């Protein structure tokens, strides 16, 4: 009986040591994740941000265009398209839609990553990009009264 109690006690101590070890090792850790990772500044975002709207101004000399109250800068890495084909800033037309993504540069300007000028390109099947399906037909789901009530039997 003493032997069994000793085995159980030994196993309990061993289990407590295994479970408690990660907590103890974290308690002594003085490094914080912010200290090991590069600090993100408010002026620089980690990834692109999307935008959509109507072009309200274009400045080809400054290589910028405005959507809403945001002015975007075309940079060397900017990818521009219109109707699925490569485009230039001249394809940005006031009053027409533009959508894409940008990053905020260290200088605070909104640098274009990708931009598409004009209406969305129609996908295969006739649906415009970003829209699934379309309107249902008036009689969608209606029962065909000309169809036989039971399927024909193979003979």
As to burial, measured by CB atoms within 10 angstroms (0-12 exposed, 13-18 middle, 19+ buried), residue 33 is: exposed
The per-residue pLDDT for 59 is 95
Contacts 24+ apart (CB under 8 A), 32-39: none
Closest CA to 80 of 56, 46, 109, 55: 55
pTM: predicted TM-score of the whole model, two decimal places = 0.51
Tens digits of per-residue pLDDT, 29-76? 554 443 333 334 444 446 899 999 999 999 999 999 999 999 999 999
């Amino acid at each position: 009986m003493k032997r069994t109690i000793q085995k159980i006690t030994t196993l309990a101590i061993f289990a407590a040591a295994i479970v408690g070890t990660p907590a103890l090792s974290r308690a002594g850790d003085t490094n914080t994740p912010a200290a090991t990772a590069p600090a993100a500044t408010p002026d620089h975002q980690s990834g692109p941000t999307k935008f959509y709207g109507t072009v309200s101004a274009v400045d080809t000399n400054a290589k910028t265009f405005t959507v809403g109250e945001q002015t975007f800068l075309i940079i060397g890495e900017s990818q521009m398209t219109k109707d699925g084909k490569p485009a230039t800033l001249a394809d940005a037309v006031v009053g027409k839609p533009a959508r894409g993504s940008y990053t905020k540069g260290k200088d605070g300007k909104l640098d274009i990553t990708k931009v598409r000028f004009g209406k969305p390109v129609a996908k295969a099947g006739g649906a415009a990009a970003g829209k699934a399906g379309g309107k249902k037909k008036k009689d969608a789901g209606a029962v065909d009264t000309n169809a036989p009530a039971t399927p024909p039997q193979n003979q």
